[in-house]
Structure 1
Amino acid sequence: MPWNDCFEAADFHDIASSFSNYTPKLDDFFAKNAELVLSEALKLYKDDKDIIKLIHTIIYSDNRQFAKAFRNTAVSGIISESALETSAGIQSTLGKNITSLQYLKPGGSFSIKEWFSNSNETGWLFITANPSQRATLCPLISAWISIAIKALMCRNPNHDNKNMWFMLDELLALQKVSSLPVALAESRKYGGCFVAGLQNIHQLEAIYGAAECASMLDLFNSKFIFRVSDQVTAYKSALTLGEQEIIETQENCPMAQILCEMG
């Protein structure tokens, strides 16, 4: 349940942002405000942790019911019966982003943050999905990974933290994990270690943008490059490995000089 990792007020917004497709470059009004509305919706049902009520309010209620649910919240200014078109746009965006929550079983009590803080835990936490489920569960998996990364960075950097390995096989199968670029740059002092696999650079640039993609690739200190068929990816991989200039010396020796030396 998303509430299992909400211990402070900021946690609600952190989890809501994990289900968002908002990017500052596009500055999508509906996507940005969908984050705020989901944050408030999580707060509305934090006591009973009723995932069914949450989904019904966001996805299945009509425009007036949707506006009524948020009447006394921080988003009442943008979700109201007097601005039904705006409310409908936000509700539609939000409904698409949280579809994966419908597959959670009510009553779950597992908390990723508590698992991280338990020093007796020595095993692995697997977050995976079948290929047929991946498109639907992608936002949920990305949110869980983001929660795990933020839990890592809540560690005290002054303690002797054990290494925590994140094995992100098929990184490009996830939607944007907003906490990942920061974690690659700063998580070492918290014991964070990241291994990620990708097939070509184009897909990573499409998710994170060209500049952030280049920055992320630079932060992976060790790289293993196998067969690459894409020309651009192959070229950039070659640049990553480095270049060297080889000067070959050639000398022409006249035949008369050779015969003289032999004689």
Structure 2
Amino acid sequence: DHWPEASVTVFSALLYQVSRGEEFTGSIDDILTKLLESTKMVESNLLGHEREVVKRGLTELINGTLASLIVDDSSPEHASSVIASIVPKIRALRYLRGLENKRDFSIRDWVKNDDKKGWLFIRVSEEEMDAAGPLVTAWFDTVIKAVLSLTPSKDRVIWNVIDELQSLGKINSLKTALNEGRKHGLRNILGFTSANELMSIYGEHSAKAMLSQCNTKLVFQTDEPTAAKWNAELLGMEEVVTENESLNFGKNDSQGLNEQRSDKYLIMPSEVQRLPAFTAYLKFSGDYPVTQIKTAYTERAVVAEPREPRQMPPPLVVKQKVILPRELKIEQGLAGSSLNEPLV
């Protein structure tokens, strides 16, 4: 869990530092420019040998913060690994460009207003998930934290429905939502295709602990043997008592009765593998039997386009600053190249 935690710490510090800048206008372009800008310098060592050094703006931004302990110049390989894990988050910010002038909408305010009812859909197509996934993860995290900040209520009901959970990154607050969300009125419905993928994201122990909080379980067909076995265990086991009678004939005839106790799947893994389409096993919390149910697919009439892509702003180009020794500056100046500093 080190890399995700380290990247979150550094990325949060970067956004905070950028927002505190005197020249910050509140635009996404300002944030991206500050995060992407860099300066190429030529430095000389004690022997007079020159080398090119690229100093990135983001390392200067976090100087003096806790994040500077993670991105340390004395450990360039570690710093590069952390920065590489931040790149997808920075890339996702591109999809927010140009939205500053749109009507404001606060997820936190919407959640905290008990008088407002309605649906909030966060939808991303498959081809956009790799790039926009960090944004979707952040939005779900915001929803959950906003609900958990509310006063406990027996009357409030907020449904949090996440389909294809394994396609998102780690939602840090999800485990807390499953453990403590009920008293705040939060109800969770989680859909995923593979428990193995979920365990690779959250870790085996955390994933099992999270799913144990989901009292109602609906299991559809899966071919993968390990997943089928895991789903069968999820549906539960029963204790089976087998009695074995033994007879001994001889000088001293005897008769014995032995009991053997063993656990047996309520639903065998092979039964999970053989489930037909639109058929599933349903398990409720409490003393209710596991039952097989059938669902039907309903073809809905198309009343509107499923999505309308917006016109994105032109690509943002962040130029690299160049600082050269005086001799090289003169040569570059004679060649007609523009520099970020005057020649004299």
TM class, shorter-length: 0.7 to 0.9
SS of alignment partner, residue 224 of structure 1: strand
Distance 2:142 2:200 in 1: 23
Q: What's 1:110 paired with?
A: 105
Question: 1:37 offset after TM fit, Å?
Answer: 2.9
Question: 1:32 offset after TM fit, Å?
Answer: 4.6
CA separation of 1:87 and 1:218: change in aligned 2, threshold 3 A: closer
CA separation of 1:210 and 1:43: change in aligned 2, threshold 3 A: farther
Distance 1:130 1:27 in 2: 24
CA separation of 1:121 and 1:225: change in aligned 2, threshold 3 A: same
User: TM-score when scaled to structure 1?
Assistant: 0.73
Question: 1:234 offset after TM fit, Å?
Answer: 1.5
Matching residue's letter, 1:225? V
1:117-144 deviation line (CA, Å, top 9, x unaligned): 2233211000111111111110000000
SS of alignment partner, residue 238 of structure 1: helix
Pick from 174, 178, 183 the counterpart of residue 180 of structure 1: 174
Which structure 1 residue ranges, 5 or more long, are not aligned?
Answer: 1-22, 252-263
SS of alignment partner, residue 217 of structure 2: coil
Distance 1:192 1:129 in 2: 23
* 1:1-263 equivalence runs, <5 A: 23-24=1-2, 32-44=9-21, 48-62=25-39, 63-64=54-55, 66=57, 70=61, 74=65, 77=68, 85=76, 89=80, 91-104=83-96, 105-107=98-100, 108=102, 109-157=104-152, 159-245=153-239
Matching residue's letter, 1:59? L
Matching residue's letter, 2:141? S
Matching residue's letter, 2:93? L
Question: 1:29 offset after TM fit, Å?
Answer: 5.6
Matching residue's letter, 2:213? L
1:5-53 deviation line (CA, Å, top 9, x unaligned): xxxxxxxxxxxxxxxxxx24x6876665344334433444897322111
Matching residue's letter, 1:97? K
Matching residue's letter, 2:89? N
Q: What's 1:258 paired with?
A: none
Q: Which has the higher strand share?
A: 2
Question: 1:238 offset after TM fit, Å?
Answer: 1.5
- Give the root-mean-square deviation of aligned CA atoms: 3.5
Contact 1:166 1:192 in 2 (8 A): yes
1:235-261 deviation line (CA, Å, top 9, x unaligned): 12212222235568899xxxxxxxxxx
| Greater Cα offset, 208-217 or 76-85 | 76-85
Contact 1:170 1:198 in 2 (8 A): yes
The share of aligned pairs that are identical, in percent, is: 26
SS of alignment partner, residue 155 of structure 1: coil
1:72-116 deviation line (CA, Å, top 9, x unaligned): 763695599976948973554433322111111331421100111
Distance 1:71 1:246 in 2: 61
1:197-227 deviation line (CA, Å, top 9, x unaligned): 1112110011000000110110101101111
Q: Which has the higher helix share?
A: 1
Contact 2:10 2:70 in 1 (8 A): no
Matching residue's letter, 1:70? L
Contact 1:166 1:195 in 2 (8 A): yes
Distance 2:213 2:73 in 1: 49
CA separation of 1:88 and 1:53: change in aligned 2, threshold 3 A: farther
CA separation of 1:192 and 1:77: change in aligned 2, threshold 3 A: closer
Matching residue's letter, 1:111? S
| Greater Cα offset, 115-124 or 39-48 | 39-48
Distance 1:124 1:208 in 2: 28
Matching residue's letter, 2:99? P
SS of alignment partner, residue 237 of structure 2: coil
Matching residue's letter, 1:51? I
Distance 1:224 1:35 in 2: 37
Contact 2:165 2:192 in 1 (8 A): yes
